Amino acid sequence: MITHFPRRPGMILAATPQGWLRRWDADGRVWPTPWQEAEKILPALDVLILSHDDLLPFAAGDRNEADRLLAHWSMFVPLLVATDGRHGATLFQHGQTRRFPAYSAREVDPTGAGDVFAAAFLTHLYRHHDPAQAVDFANCVAAFSIEQTGISGIPTLSQVEQRRRIS
């Protein structure tokens, strides 16, 4: 499917692979499944964004093993960002790994925080072309998003800018 997207200058082709990391059984239950096509798909992307927790089932719950899988996948895609809840996020770029702390937040509803992070990251990256700034920006937006239920926690740009100046 990814090969059907025409490439143009200024375009960012990104994926969040949760669907590729899950399968449904005959009863409709969802189970983790290894992403067999990762090394074929990743070179076609500019950015991969996923949760560190998505990889724990394939790493026997071992965070270090999940980190090794992320580092391996990062060799196939220009930018890989792994979110890690209250631990922040990690940016993998050109063989370099950089960790970004989470912004403090009073968690009310974490549902959708990863999607909010991905949207904020990609928007900031597209506008400013700086992956490190985009991770920090997205961390801030995601912190706001978990402090209220549903979409009511999604902040305005001025709220994000103010919190980033304070931190």
Domains detected in the chain: 2-166 (3.40.1190.20)
Kindly state the average pLDDT of the residues 24-42: 92
pLDDT number for residue 103? 95
* DSSP result, 97-146: EEEEPPPP---S--TTHHHHHHHHHHHHHHHH--HHHHHHHHHHHHHHHT
pLDDT digits (tens, 9 = 90+) for 119-131: 999 999 999 999 9
pLDDT number for residue 46? 96
Pairing of strands 47-51, 14-15: parallel
pLDDT tier at 99 (50, 70, 90 boundaries)? Answer: very high
Between 26 and 9, name the one with better pLDDT.
Answer: 26
pLDDT tier at 144 (50, 70, 90 boundaries)? Answer: very high
pTM over 0.85: yes
Q: Is 32 helix (H, G, I), strand (E, B) or coil?
A: strand
pLDDT digits (tens, 9 = 90+) for 71-86: 999 999 999 999 999 9
Kindly state the average pLDDT of the residues 38-58: 93
Assess whether pLDDT exceeds 90 at residue 167. no
pLDDT number for residue 1? 75
pLDDT number for residue 95? 84
Residue 162 to residue 141: CA distance in whole angstroms: 11
